[in-house]
Amino acid sequence: MNIEAIHKSIIEAYPTWEIDATESCLVITNHENITAYLAVSGSQIIVETLLFPASKIKDKNALNTYILQTHKIIPLTTVGLTEVEGDWYYSAFGTLSSQSKLESVVIEVETLFNNVEELITMYEDFIL
């Protein structure tokens, strides 16, 4: 599977989303102004969005414990830490095989976007 095929499938499913393509990544922004990054790397497709900066967390150990205790609640999405230009962010991501059907990739992006609001609500008590 390649970026061009994924790009075409997402545009067909969601023509109002803004998608910028590079040779190795799609930058996808939905109608709620949430941005996700999709990349194909070898046998894996990853789609990820940043949630909030780690520097804005009151108690990182408490949040990390809470994430580990509740991660199974949110379908098809995992929360992790991602470094961007020297700063750490909590991020939400999903992964698929690069052999997945295009429909499954679109579902993964949809699900990630749907889960962002719920994740932020779940973690809001930990954010400064």
Question: 1 pLDDT exceeds 90?
Answer: no
The pLDDT score that the predictor gives to residue 24 is: 84
pTM passes above 0.75: yes
Per-domain residue ranges of the chain: 3-126
The pLDDT score that the predictor gives to residue 75 is: 85
The pLDDT score that the predictor gives to residue 2 is: 86
- pLDDT, tens digit (0-9, with 9 covering 90-100), for 6-58: 999 999 999 999 999 987 899 999 999 999 999 998 899 999 999 999 999 99
The third-level CATH classification (topology) of the domain covering 3-126 is: Yope Regulator; Chain: A, (3.30.1460)
Burial pattern 31-70, b for ≥16 Cβ within 10 A else e, equals eeebebbbebeeeebebbbbbbebeebeeeeebbebbeee
- pLDDT, tens digit (0-9, with 9 covering 90-100), for 54-104: 999 999 999 999 999 998 899 899 999 999 999 999 999 999 999 999 999
Instruction: Tell me the pLDDT band of 123, cut-offs 50, 70 and 90.
Output: very high
The pLDDT score that the predictor gives to residue 59 is: 97
